[in-house]
Amino acid sequence: MKTIHVDTGRPYDVLIGNGLIEDCGKLIREKNAARKDAVKAAVISDDKVWELYGEKVTESLRSAGFETLKLVLPNGEESKNTDNLISVLEFLAENEFTRSDLIAALGGGVVGDLAGFAAAVMLRGVDFIQIPTTLLACVDSSVGGKTAVDLRAGKNLAGAFHQPRLVICDLDVLDSLPEETFKDGSAEVIKYGVLADPRLFEHLMDKGLEFNREYVVSRCIEIKRDVVNEDEFDTGKRRLLNLGHTLAHAAEQLSSYKLSHGKAVAIGMSVFSAAAASYGICDRLTAERIREAVKRFGLPCDTDYSAEELYEVMLRDKKRNGSSISIVLPEKIGRCIIKKMDIAELEDFIRAGL
């Protein structure tokens, strides 16, 4: 088992290894991730994940002395809404959940974001732990303390910064993921290689989907940790994690979310690196390597949307700042920059990448 320490306002550990969920209760106790006087542990999950791992987690929590509560939501992004947030809060209140008790988020990013937000606002903040079950949740959403639900006007529009007390990444649970979901998470993994680690990038090129999970998941979390440690509240450096995401969000919206997030990020990284190459920010070879990596994972690197369509949607991006927008671009594999670009230049820039 590997341990990565995250040094945010309230520090915590991320545990990475095999067979960890069977021991989650014990690990929570050992890591003092629950208060000594905690009585209840409320497991929040989705129907698919619950069926696979709910009993194991509950069993383990019970044997560590917790009384368990269970709340299962339908799987999928549609569940990440304000109605479900309120249902979770009402459920906890009805079950006399106290400030000493603990929430355990068992699932992908949807469950983690919603349960985390519930933990942030329940009784003005209660302890929660993340037990991520998708690759994306392991390397991205479970670490860093961003929690949210979607509003009708857009994704993640209501949320809070609330760090978990512990993150338990059991690599075995990734075995049951549908290949498409695993591939989607891989787009984020490639992102970390491009952002900060040429060696990680080369490993991914070499192994493709058969990459060494412990090494890769750990490296991604370390990279995210380093960025989050410097910028917990997302006012500067943390924006680097948006590599590929500005264009991805636009493509996802244009497709009415039929295009998956991972595929959109893959396209976003490919198109923006090609554009960066033609503007001399990185060399052609770098852009080419990024496209190759994306292809190696069976992810798309092109889109049929036009520069004009993508630009129109990006104008509404929340990272936009008056007349400029911040975009993340590679200088080389392992090093990226945040570039402030005039909105007026953006359409041509996208066109250069298509």
Ligand X SMILES: NC(=O)c1ccc[n+]([C@@H]2O[C@H](COP(=O)([O-])OP(=O)(O)OC[C@H]3O[C@@H](n4cnc5c(N)ncnc54)[C@H](O)[C@@H]3O)[C@@H](O)[C@H]2O)c1
80 binds ligand X (CB under 6 A): yes
273 binds ligand X (CB under 6 A): no
Backbone angles phi, psi at 71, to 5 degrees: -135, 120
Report in angstroms how near the CB of residue 112 gets to ligand X at its nearest: 7
Residues near ligand X (CB under 6 A), total = 28
170 binds ligand X (CB under 6 A): no
Q: Residues 93 to 152: which contact ligand X by CB under 6 A?
A: 107-111, 113, 133-134, 136-137, 140-141, 144, 146
* Burial degree of 146 (CB within 10 A; 0-12, 13-18, 19+): buried
Report in angstroms how near the CB of residue 241 gets to ligand X at its nearest: 8
Partnered with residue 72 across adjacent β-strands are 45
| CB of 65 or CB of 76, closer to ligand X | 76
Contact segment (CB under 6 A) with ligand X among 36-44, 48-56, 195-203, 289-297 equals 48-56
213 binds ligand X (CB under 6 A): no
Query: Cα torsion for 73, 79, 85, 86, to the nearest 10°?
Result: -80
Q: Are 85 and 114 in contact (CB under 8 A)?
A: yes
| CB of 32 or CB of 176, closer to ligand X | 176
CA 34 from centroid of its chain's CA atoms:
23
Backbone angles phi, psi at 17, to 5 degrees: 175, -170
| CB of 79 or CB of 303, closer to ligand X | 79
317 binds ligand X (CB under 6 A): no
How far apart, in whole angstroms, are the C-alpha atoms of residue 353 and residue 329?
12
186 binds ligand X (CB under 6 A): no
| Residue 331 host element (H or E) | strand 324-332
228 binds ligand X (CB under 6 A): no
Q: Tell me the residue nearest to ligand X as measured from the CB.
A: 109
193 binds ligand X (CB under 6 A): no
27 binds ligand X (CB under 6 A): no
Report in angstroms how near the CB of residue 114 gets to ligand X at its nearest: 8
Sign, CA torsion 255/195/166/102: negative
- SS3 assignment, position 18: coil
Query: Cα torsion for 109, 111, 113, 119, to the nearest 10°?
Result: -150
Place of tokens 């945010």: 8
Binding site for ligand X (CB under 6 A): 46, 48-49, 52, 75-77, 80, 107-111, 113, 133-134, 136-137, 140-141, 144, 146, 155-156, 173, 176-177, 181
